């Protein structure tokens, strides 16, 4: 995974609550067997109408947000299906930071596995970011969002911050603890599935 670098970008405001992963990446696009190429299907049913023309009233179709890397949305972002394809689609489209008052647990966890930074902020601050039109900076090291008029601090678990900043491979980290896993297995009382034939 690539280490997370500071982001300078304008904000794409997606002013909706309960944005579920079925909207982020509809099921007809879950059949690919690789991780790349999902960006063109991001928010597909909101971006395109029945005849596959762009819907002019959807924020991602506004050309001024074309190069935005920051998405701001409402409560409970990423709820529903555990599909990591949702994160792959956001990333492939170009987003590296998602800001919302709250996130669904599995989506939140999936973000960190792919180098996306989800930031949880109070509703009132999120409201101000919805109308922020200038470019802002996301500084993960210092845990701040810098707008032309102010600096907004955010909190993040130190373990997760390290994973993003160093682009750590989770599995390689875990393998360093293999002796602990072996120890656990030796004492485990739960039977193996296949031995119970």
List of residues contacting another protein (CB under 8 A): 16-18, 20, 22-23, 26-28, 30-35, 45, 50, 74-76, 79-85, 87, 102, 104-106, 109-110, 113-114, 157-160, 170-171, 174-175, 177-178, 180-181, 184-185, 188-197
Rg, Å, the chain Cα set: 19
Shortest distance in whole angstroms from residue 8 CB to another protein: 27
Percent composition of the chain: helix, strand, coil (DSSP 3-state, to 5): 35, 20, 45
Shortest distance in whole angstroms from residue 135 CB to another protein: 26
- How many residues are recorded in the chain? 197
Nearer to another protein, 20 or 137 (CB): 20
Nearest CA-CA partner of 30 in 84, 68, 75, 71? 84
Residues 138, 117 contacting (CB under 8 angstroms): yes
Nearer to another protein, 35 or 150 (CB): 35
Shortest distance in whole angstroms from residue 97 CB to another protein: 19
Shortest distance in whole angstroms from residue 183 CB to another protein: 8
Nearer to another protein, 82 or 128 (CB): 82
Q: Enter the DSSP assignment of 63.
A: G
Q: Per DSSP, what are the bridge partners of residue 12?
A: 71
Shortest distance in whole angstroms from residue 129 CB to another protein: 14
Nearer to another protein, 9 or 107 (CB): 107
CA-CA distance, 197 to 40, in Å (whole number)? 46
The gap between the terminal CA atoms of the chain, to the nearest Å, is 40
Nearer to another protein, 9 or 91 (CB): 91
**Packing angle, helices 105-112 and 158-166, rounded to 10:** 40
């Amino acid at each position: 995974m690539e280490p997370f670098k500071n982001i300078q970008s304008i904000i794409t405001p997606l002013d909706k609550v309960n944005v579920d992963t079925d909207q982020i990446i509809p099921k007809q696009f879950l059949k690919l067997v690789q991780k790349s190429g999902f960006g063109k299907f991001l928010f597909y049913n909101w971006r395109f109408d029945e005849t596959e023309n762009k819907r002019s009233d959807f924020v991602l179709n506004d050309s001024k947000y074309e190069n935005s890397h920051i998405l701001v949305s409402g409560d409970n972002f990423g709820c529903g299906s555990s599909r990591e394809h949702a994160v792959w689609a956001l990333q492939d489209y170009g987003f590296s930071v998602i800001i919302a008052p709250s996130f669904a647990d599995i989506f939140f966890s999936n973000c960190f596995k792919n180098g996306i930074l989800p930031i949880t902020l109070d509703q009132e601050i999120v409201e101000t970011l919805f109308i922020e039109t200038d470019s802002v900076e996301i500084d993960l090291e210092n845990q701040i969002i810098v707008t032309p008029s102010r600096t907004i601090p955010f909190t993040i678990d130190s373990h997760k911050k390290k994973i993003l900043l160093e682009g750590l491979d989770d599995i390689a980290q875990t393998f360093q603890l293999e002796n602990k896993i072996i120890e656990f297995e030796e004492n485990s009382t739960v039977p193996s599935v296949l031995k119970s034939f």
